[in-house]
């Protein structure tokens, strides 16, 4: 199929943009052709969003009206989940049954419904007398036009994480999906129109870095929201600073799993393996660094190797598949590079570390466990973004926390222990936006998701996300 741009509520021809092929990473075949948007295309999308914002067709609707349109969007989306999930699998390599349809789609529908409800939450507005003879009113108002840049690992789900709170707040949006995975975002835009969300409120431009740069630079964009790598986040922040845009960044992660001597190792193995291999490990909250108390270190390694070897890697359209390919040849080279350099530096590959037998057509990589590594090693400190975990020993709580915090990232972490006091102490000491105890990776629409340190700032999910797309206005009224 060939896709156009979605601007001002309709499919729109490009103004000078070229085309890009969308690849299926499981087969290397071409799925579709999309536009690589030009600066003129970006400007057209931003102008449509700007007009839609200032004439009030969305921002001036009652919260109830916005909520009803978003609820209708959720219903439309829910009726099409099989088609959306199939398209998501084709462009990403996600296992259709296990990942795209079984996990992403139900969560996406729930996210839309949550943000539809959040649109009616007006607790941010209040009034009071703080100076004699005056009444102060505090209003929560939408930021304006928002440029949103979504990642390739959860294309439609994270498009919803961005659109949902922005629409609930009353903003208008120009969404740019990742270059290789735009198809489900385009489908979502068309569904927004069907749900009655007015023309110009949701616009989707496809393309590469030039289109993204044009969106971040555009003077009429008031806020930029990015989910991506830490390096990309730094570039976006530097560019946005030139026009003092508000910036929302959800960036890289390097989640530690702290396994204390009283932990249930069967539970550790099951939860860590799922956290390390779900979406082929291409998840910023993925379980990556296992630290096991010295007395349980050998047993923990054995349990993890057994669990990782049991994971079914294969055809994304096979219902028994748990892990599909990595997103691209480049990503597989990146993952393999981390592993190969660790091995060359003296690390031991306990399992994996190679392309699985019989799966050399797509970009597959075997679930991998590595040990005999130093805390300062590249594979400990850098984000691999693949189905790879490292295992190291520690002695005592203080060292566990030290190792856990000793990376530039601060997105997610896990603690495995039966001691409630220890769980409370350690989770408080870890510098991460989310800390799970005796689990890894579950999220809900009500719980905020976002990081510390170089994992960014701002929140996805929860009512906090809506607040990121609002500004507070103080109106002070004299009684005279």
Extract long-range pairs of 14-22: CB within 8 Å, 24+ residues apart: 14/38, 14/41, 15/40, 15/41, 15/44, 16/40, 16/41, 17/41, 17/207, 20/179, 20/206, 20/207, 20/208, 22/91, 22/180, 22/181, 22/182, 22/183
Angle (CA) 384-385-387 rounded to 5° is 95
Q: At what angle do helices 81-92 and 63-79 cross, to 10 degrees?
A: 70
Whether 89 contacts 96, CB under 8 Å: yes
Tokens of 127: 């009034």
User: Which residues, listed in sequence order, are joined to residue 475 by a DSSP beta bridge?
Assistant: 137
* Gap between the Cα atoms of 142 and 137, Å rounded: 16
Q: Where are the alpha helices (DSSP H) in 38-197?
A: 39-54, 63-79, 81-92, 105-118, 155-169, 183-194
234 to each of 98, 111, 197, 222, how far by Cα in Å?
Answer: 34, 28, 33, 18
Between the alpha carbon of residue 192 and those of residues 8, 121, 205, the distances in Å are: 12, 21, 15
Of 284, 322, 371, 383, which residue is the catalytic one? 284
Please report the DSSP string for 362-382 in residue order.
TT----EEEES--TTSHHHHS
Which H or E run includes 128? strand 126-131
The backbone region for 265, taken as left when phi is positive above 0, alpha when psi lies in -120 to 50, beta otherwise, is alpha
Cβ atoms within 10 A of the Cβ of 388, count? Answer: 27
For residue 301, the surrounding DSSP H or E stretch is helix 297-309
Between strands 18-23 and 10-12, the pairing is unpaired
Distance CA 320, CA 306 (A): 18
Question: How would you class 22 by CB atoms within 10 Å of its CB: exposed for 0-12, middle for 13-18, buried for 19 or more?
Answer: buried
Closest CA to 110 of 433, 446, 439: 446
CA atoms of 438 and 423, how far apart (whole Å): 9
Length of the chain: 480
Which of 23, 88, 250, 322 is catalytic? The answer is 250
- Catalogue the E-assigned strands of 294-411: 348-351, 368-371, 388-394, 409-410
Establish whether 284 is a catalytic residue.
yes
Would you please indicate which residues are annotated as catalytic (active-site) residues? Answer: 250, 284
């Amino acid at each position: 199929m060939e896709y156009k741009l979605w601007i001002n509520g309709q499919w729109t021809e490009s103004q000078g943009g070229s085309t890009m092929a969308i690849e299926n990473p499981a087969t290397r075949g071409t799925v579709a052709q999309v536009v690589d948007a030009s600066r003129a295309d970006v400007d057209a999308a931003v102008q449509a969003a700007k007009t839609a914002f200032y004439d009030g067709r969305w921002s001036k609707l009652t919260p109830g009206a916005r909520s009803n349109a978003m609820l209708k969007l959720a219903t439309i989306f829910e009726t099409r989940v099989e088609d959306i999930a199939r398209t998501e699998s084709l462009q990403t390599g996600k296992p259709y049954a296990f990942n795209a349809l079984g996990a992403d789609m139900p969560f996406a529908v729930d996210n839309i419904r949550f943000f539809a409800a959040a649109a009616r939450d007006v607790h941010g507005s209040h009034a009071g007398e703080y100076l004699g003879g005056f009444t102060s009113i505090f209003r929560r108002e939408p930021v304006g036009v928002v440029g949103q840049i979504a990642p390739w690992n959860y294309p439609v789900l994270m498009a919803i994480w961005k659109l949902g709170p922005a629409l609930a707040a009353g903003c208008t949006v120009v969404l740019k999906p990742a270059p290789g995975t735009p198809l489900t975002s385009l489908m979502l835009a068309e569904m927004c129109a069907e749900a009655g969300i007015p023309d110009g409120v949701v616009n989707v431009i496809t393309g590469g870095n030039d289109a993204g740069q044009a969106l971040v630079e555009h003077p009429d964009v008031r806020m930029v929201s990015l989910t991506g790598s830490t390096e990309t986040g730094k570039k976006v922040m530097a560019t946005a600073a030139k026009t003092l845009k508000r910036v929302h960044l959800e960036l890289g992660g390097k989640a530690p799993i702290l396994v204390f001597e009283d932990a249930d190792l069967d539970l550790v193995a099951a939860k860590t393996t799922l956290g390390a291999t779900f979406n082929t490990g291409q998840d910023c909250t993925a379980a990556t660094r296992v630290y096991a108390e010295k007395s349980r270190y050998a047993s923990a390694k054995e349990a993890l190797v057994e669990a990782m070897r049991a994971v079914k890697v294969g055809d994304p359209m096979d219902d028994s598949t748990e892990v599909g390919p990595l997103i691209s040849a480049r990503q597989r080279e990146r993952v393999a590079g981390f592993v190969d350099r660790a091995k060359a530096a003296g690390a031991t590959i306990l399992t994996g570390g190679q392309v699985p037998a019989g799966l050399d057509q797509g970009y597959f990589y075997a679930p991998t466990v590595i040990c005999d590594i130093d805390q300062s090693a590249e594979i400990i400190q850098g984000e691999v973004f693949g189905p790879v975990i490292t295992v190291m020993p520690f002695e005592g709580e203080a060292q566990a926390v030290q190792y856990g915090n000793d990376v530039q990232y601060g997105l997610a972490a896990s603690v495995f222990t039966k001691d409630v006091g220890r769980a409370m102490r350690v989770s408080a000491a870890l510098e991460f936006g989310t800390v799970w105890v005796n689990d890894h990776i579950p999220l809900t629409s009500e719980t905020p998701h976002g990081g510390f340190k170089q994992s960014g700032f701002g929140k996805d999910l929860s009512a906090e996300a809506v607040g990121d797309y609002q500004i507070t206005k103080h109106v002070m009224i004299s009684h005279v």
